Amino acid sequence: MPESIRVTAGLPYPLGATWDGSGVNVAVFSAHARKIELCLFDDDGKRETARIPLPEYTHEVWHGYFPDLHPGQLYGLRVHGPYAPEAGHRFNPNKLLLDPYAKEIRGQIRWHDSLHGYRIGHSKQDLSFDKRDSARAMPKCRIIDPAHTWGHDDRPRRPWAETVIYEAHVKGITARKPDVPEELRGSFAALATPGVIEHLASLGVTAVELMPIHAFFDDRYLTEKGLHNYWGYSTLGFFAPAPRYIAPGHNLHDFKLMVQRLHGAGIEVIMDVVYNHTAEGNHLGPTLSFRGIDNLSYYVPADDPRYIYDTTGCGNNLNIRHPRVLQMVMDSLRYWVEDCHIDGFRFDLAVTLSRDRDNFDTNSPFLDAVAQDPVLAHVKMISESWDLGPNGYQVGGFPPGWAEWNGRYRDSMRGFVKGDPGAIPALATHLLGSSDIFDRRGRRPWASVNFMTAHDGFTLMDLYSYNEKHNEANGEENRDGHNDNRSWNCGVEGPSDDPAVIALRDRMRRMAMAALILSNGTPMILMGDEIGHSQQGNNNAYCQDSELTWMTWELDERAMSFKEFVAGALGLRRELAPLRSYRYLHGDPVGGEGGPPDVRWLRRDGKDTTHADWADTEDRDVAVVLRDTRDAVFIIANSSDQEITVIAPEAGEGRAWRLRLDSGTGKIDPDTPPVVAGDGIAMPGRAILLFSAV
């Protein structure tokens, strides 16, 4: 150890490498390690310049204080302990490890067999031991100065009922943006540029949900096929942004500047986070961080501790019931809220976070910790309420305070728009916020995050261009991805220059988007759907970092027309309160006893629907009036090919109905005569009409 590097006892908190203005405190949790060394590297991360044991061990935390270290220093960890895979221990000090609390990571993984704690190809597999140093193949942690001038960063704090989410990918939305400097494209700095923000603001979305930006790297099996981990659902650092999203010569302050500028446009930032598993995979995976620091603490052991319990399909479950692992997750969430001003989180495979092995636990340590945390009380929490384990589908099962991705909405609405038989009852439920799923314990309609498309599956354009998935480019012989897409190619598989096919596809897209935007709940729009982005039928583009997944910005008349329709529909949603109700509508009188019902379902003849009507599986159309004390709206949806006539109901108080949206023509506020009670409305096929009372 160089004489210039001094070390004293330091403190067992905070965890990680923390600059206090004078020096750096280093603290690392490991319940089973025998020694932990801090390894320092030169500025390019290629040469190890010092290896210093942390001198103290308090409450299962190894710690030391280094008065000679400063921000910018690159470092890693080496952890000594038993190598006994059969007992769940996989310590190997030959492997350089990332600090779980690192705030910045520099470099990429260079895949090599030395990254594994065992000898690849050995007859004993992971029971063997590899003595090679992995440092040259590993990225390095970097000590940061967290100071950032936020100025007057006013968080939008959008009410849930007014929230419209836009699911986006940092590179996907910026890689082809012409007015973004080429060296910035694909980065946080690019997402902070005026052109990107102006597009989002003009569309009318209120929140950007960023696909994973926690530190992740390309998986070995993908790099060997010439592919990339595009989506990022393979986290290796829960406090550090992904190095690939930091432009050359820039640093993590770009992320904070991006948040600040989005806030300036009234747009919240939600992070898609992956705390259910890590990038280290199963028992045969590499030793990159958690596995080498304390495998038995960080991961849920299987019945045989040599193996890891897995409900994610990715090889491991993070052991979030362990107090220190739960602390890491909660510290991570608070860091992104307090230090980076994040407005919310979407939790990938959230059921795994709330498991007691085979059972979903609504009083799990994770859910209880979130419920009582004062920092998280004011941010949006969204769960993907399923995983691959036993009892894994739990949509509607999360406690009050949570919103949930509603996969049942997606499937039912797709079926209705496509014209599937028997879809009307589910449509009616989902149009009003899926009360059958979420109306309990005081939850509100916004708890249902409604979506027609998301990153996982077809884009909206592809939903009406393909009957089958086309994932051949993924190198898995088209075996990957969903088979049940409820899509329709409108008569031709893939691209078509037939004007009739193009017109029908646009009609279907408008109907699907109108259904989404006019539904109670929280709408989520997939990046690029507003301009007709296609992935050529690939419904699992997780490994496609190319123009297949990057959003195009060269918009033709067709794309601009659709964007204007989406923006117009979102404008109507903002204007008309019954489309974003704060409470569930159950037919209760508006304004007290004797008032009109807040929801009324109607047949074509203007009369109330009956039980027999709801049971008729051949029906393809439905009409509904929604009211509050100020506004009333009348919605007609027809998924058949045939034009029908619908009798207009009473608008109330001598008012008439004004047509505000016609998805068939794509017109917003067309110049048409008002409609009064008893008038016959010509309702076209495959369309949605929205009227408001005037």
Distance CA(377)–CA(37), nearest Å, equals 38
How many CB atoms sit inside 10 A of residue 338's CB? 10
pLDDT of residue 1: 42
**25: closest CA among 138, 143, 105, 140?**
143
Task: Give the contacts of 20 (CB within 8 A, at least 6 positions apart).
Answer: none
CA-to-CA distance for 448 and 430, rounded, in angstroms? Answer: 9
Annotated catalytic residues are 348, 384
Percentage of residues of the chain with pLDDT beyond 90? 97
Please tell me what DSSP assigns to residue 346.
E
pLDDT digits (tens, 9 = 90+) for 111-144: 999 999 999 999 999 999 999 999 999 999 999 9
- Per-residue pLDDT, 151: 84
The residues near 42 (Cβ < 8 Å, ≥ 6 apart) are 49, 74
643-678 pLDDT per residue, tens: 999 999 999 888 999 999 999 999 999 999 999 999
How confident is the model over 7-26, as a mean pLDDT? 97
- 237-252 pLDDT, tens per residue? 999 999 999 999 998 8
672 C-beta neighbours (distance < 10 Å), count: 11
Contacts 24+ apart (CB under 8 A), 599-603: 599/432, 599/624, 599/625, 599/626, 599/627, 600/624, 600/625, 600/649, 601/428, 602/646, 602/649
CATH superfamily of 588-693: Golgi alpha-mannosidase II (2.60.40.1180)
Cα(309)–Cα(358) distance, integer angstroms:
10
For 563, the token pair is 């964007």
DSSP 247: P
pTM of the model: 0.97
Domain ranges in the chain?
Answer: 588-693
pLDDT over threshold 70, residue 568: yes
pLDDT value for 131: 98
- Residue 252: the pLDDT is 86
Q: How far apart are CA 229 and CA 101, in angstroms?
A: 22
3-state SS track over 201-237: HHHCCCEEEECCCEEECCCHHHHCCCCCCCCCCCEEE
Write out pLDDT tens, residues 426-440. Answer: 999 999 999 999 999
